[in-house]
Chains A and B, each alone.
Chain A
Amino acid sequence: GAGVSQSPRYKVAKRGQDVALRCDPISGHVSLFWYQQALGQGPEFLTYFQNEAQLDKSGLPSDRFFAERPEGSVSTLKIQRTQQEDSAVYLCASSLGGRQETQYFGPGTRLLVL
């Protein structure tokens, strides 16, 4: 079946704009993660969902970041009042969540805030 898909692939926003990034996980995957990858760095954890429940949001850098997964499948990461430091690649990953199950990553959304 299809892998994890993300849209848009690229987003340019003016500082202060709100943006919404979408993730379509692999069908049947209960676990969904968002990571932020700054230029030249490894991905850093933002938040985790198990089905529709957001169980961990400890990595969200500020209250301008908000994520949801209302029906336990598609997830949206929203960033309000974007700042230049929000420029990064936002990666989504999904997993069956069981023992030794792999996290599969999408291609990411590259966000540039001007």
Chain B
Amino acid sequence: GQQLNQSPQSMFIQEGEDVSMNCTSSSIFNTWLWYKQDPGEGPVLLIALYKAGELTSNGRLTAQFGITRKDSFLNISASIPSDVGIYFCAGQKSNFGNEKLTFGTGTRLTIIP
């Protein structure tokens, strides 16, 4: 099945650094979502974006919905150890919760001591 393209595939950073990752698609989505998945757990929603051009923050996380509706970006400022995990973008064709999600390939974030 289709998966969105995420980059980078993995990141190795030091605590306190800022992180940027992005997600691109060949088709338009009208909702962009960012999830975090810890080992042995299901994905947990971090940020939801519903309008092209929208910039939304959740604490140290900021995400943007690209104006072409084919991409999205996630930034994490001043990383801390609990930020370690795998980050997934996901797109939906509509704004409704009764529609399937198309996920990206994931970005694995590791913090180097």
Question: Beyond A41-B3, A44-B3, A105-B42, is A31–B98 a contact (Cβ under 8 Å)?
Answer: yes
Of A64-72, A76-84, A91-99, which binds chain B? A91-99
Contact A56 B100 (CB under 8 A): yes
Cα separation A105 to B42 with both chains bound (whole Å): 5
Quick one: closest A residue to B86, CB to CB? A42
Interface of A is mostly: loop
Contacts of B43 in A (CB 8 A): 43, 91, 105
Contact B40 A44 (CB under 8 A): no
Residues of B in contact with A, size category = 20 to 34
B interface list, Cβ under 8 A from A: 1, 3-4, 31, 35, 40-45, 48, 50, 88, 90, 95-98, 100-106
Contact B97 A103 (CB under 8 A): yes
**Does any Cβ of B come within 8 Å of A74's Cβ?**
no
Contact B96 A107 (CB under 8 A): no
Min distance, Cβ A64 to any Cβ of chain B, angstroms: 17
A interface list, Cβ under 8 A from B: 4, 30-31, 33, 35, 40-45, 48, 50, 56, 59, 91, 93, 95-108
Contacts of A59 in B (CB 8 A): 1, 100
Cα separation A90 to B88 with both chains bound (whole Å): 16
Contact A102 B103 (CB under 8 A): no
Contact A42 B88 (CB under 8 A): yes
Contact A106 B101 (CB under 8 A): no
Contact among B40, B45, B106 with A41 in the assembled complex (CB-CB below 8 Å) = B106
Contact among A4, A44, A95, A99 with B103 in the assembled complex (CB-CB below 8 Å) = A44
Question: Beyond A31-B97, A107-B40, is A45–B102 a contact (Cβ under 8 Å)?
Answer: yes
Quick one: closest A residue to B89, CB to CB? A42
